[in-house]
Copies of this chain bind each other. A is one copy, B any other.
Amino acid sequence: MTQHICRTFQTAPAAVPRDDTAKYLRSGLTAEGFQAPDWLVPDLEDGTAPDMKAAALENVCELVPEHDFPGEIWPRVQWSYDDERFRDRGREEIATLVRELGDDIEGVVVPKVGRREDVERALETVADAESKAGLPDGSIGLSIIIETAAARSDLREISMLGSGPHARLTALVFGPVDYAAELGGRDLGDGRPRWDGLLEALSNEASANGLLAIGGPFDDLFRERAGVTIYNADAYADQVEREAQIGLDGSWSLYPKQTIQANRIHLPTPAELERDVHKIEQFNAAKAEGTGAVTIDGQMVDEATFKNFRNTVVTVRTVHGTRPEQTTELYDDGLLERVLDLKLSYQ
């Protein structure tokens, strides 16, 4: 499988009770610039009401092939570790999606998984669908939402299913709303808890097994101040910044403005990029003179620090390769040129 980029995991209800039932799905498929998510997730689960599920599956099968979406398509199906009826619906949805859209989707997203055995069950379901559709082994990925106490308890064991070169498991996505309900967490007026311990573990286990780690949705989209309703830009950006700091690869978006912000925050800021490019240039010069650790702008820099600076540069290079309209909008030409020229190894 190819390397995945997922700064933004944008869910869109696949059917809504409007004249155009595919309104939000169509909007996601045609988004441009910073508003285009890296992953578009047509939602057949909680975002779609029970009596719209059939229409939702039809919308996905019809619209996805019609659009040349620049990122990846990962439909979310129904599932539940503790209710077989939902797993049966999920199996049918996966079979249909893989049969109808095998070449147009990168994989499926399965929510409400439980302990390791349940994730293995989901992996087998995808493998079956893939094989029945005559697709090559491993061509359809599986991403899972970690939103039950059982999945959190087994996170290390579940994540190990993703190690190895041909693993199907691709991303671990946090689901804080269902998770808070399972644990009985409360919103006493200043929001739900942050679950810092879980997020740190998610970042670690994903890195230990070559998976992507994605943060959870922020649902307080708007707030009112003295009679005026505004988009909650600061609170969402704060959450995405925290996720970026601890090494999550991307953030969940429920809304086009959230996609703009998360795409942006999961790129280095111009100041961050300038700082790290400068330190690499200085460190490369010091190493050429036989120094292992050197103080640059007050910071002691060695091989380990260098790896962090290199991450900054590699992220920009990778996104520049697939979404140059974003990188050229964000960085000035001189800086981008230094990024592309920089020597990143030394022996």
**Pairwise interchain contact A184-B49, C-beta atoms closer than 8 A:** no
Question: Is A302 among interface residues, defined by CB-CB distance under 8 A?
Answer: yes
Question: Is A150 among interface residues, defined by CB-CB distance under 8 A?
Answer: yes
**Pairwise interchain contact A304-B196, C-beta atoms closer than 8 A:** no
Question: Is A247 among interface residues, defined by CB-CB distance under 8 A?
Answer: yes
**Pairwise interchain contact A290-B49, C-beta atoms closer than 8 A:** yes
Residues 1-24 (chain A) with a chain B CB within 8 angstroms: 13, 16-17
Shortest beta-carbon distance, A55 to chain B, in Å?
A: 10
Contacts of A347 in B (CB 8 A): 50
Question: Is A232 among interface residues, defined by CB-CB distance under 8 A?
Answer: yes
Among A34-42, A87-95, A102-110, A197-205, the stretch that binds chain B is A197-205
Among A66-74, A117-125, A292-300, the stretch that binds chain B is A292-300
Question: Is A226 among interface residues, defined by CB-CB distance under 8 A?
Answer: no
With A and B bound together, what is the CA distance between A16 and B62 in angstroms? Answer: 66
Contact of A290 among B46, B51, B268 (CB under 8 A): B51
With A and B bound together, what is the CA distance between A244 and B189 in angstroms? Answer: 12
**Pairwise interchain contact A298-B188, C-beta atoms closer than 8 A:** no
Shortest beta-carbon distance, A301 to chain B, in Å?
A: 7
Main secondary structure of the interface of A (DSSP, over half): mixed
Residues 207-226 (chain A) with a chain B CB within 8 angstroms: 207-208, 217, 219-224
**Pairwise interchain contact B177-A304, C-beta atoms closer than 8 A:** yes
**Pairwise interchain contact B183-A204, C-beta atoms closer than 8 A:** yes
Q: How many copies does the complex hold?
A: 3
**Pairwise interchain contact A46-B293, C-beta atoms closer than 8 A:** yes
Residue picked from A16, A193, A255, A272, most chain B C-beta under 10 Å = A193
Question: Is A303 among interface residues, defined by CB-CB distance under 8 A?
Answer: yes
Contacts of A291 in B (CB 8 A): 16-17, 49
Shortest beta-carbon distance, A9 to chain B, in Å?
A: 15
**Pairwise interchain contact A308-B181, C-beta atoms closer than 8 A:** yes
By Cβ-Cβ distance, the 6 closest A-B pairs, closest first, are: A183-B247, A181-B307, A149-B208, A222-B298, A17-B290, A149-B207
A-B contact pairs, 29 of them (CB 8 A): A16-B292, A17-B290, A17-B291, A46-B292, A49-B287, A49-B290, A49-B291, A50-B346, A51-B290, A52-B292, A150-B208, A175-B304, A181-B307, A183-B246, A183-B247, A184-B247, A185-B308, A186-B272, A187-B308, A188-B241, A192-B245, A192-B308, A193-B245, A195-B200, A196-B200, A220-B299, A221-B295, A254-B300, A255-B300
Having A46-B293, A189-B272, A221-B299, one finds 18 other A-B pairs with CB under 8 Å, namely A17-B291, A46-B292, A49-B287, A49-B292, A50-B287, A177-B302, A178-B304, A183-B203, A183-B207, A185-B308, A186-B247, A186-B268, A187-B272, A188-B245, A195-B246, A220-B298, A222-B295, A254-B300
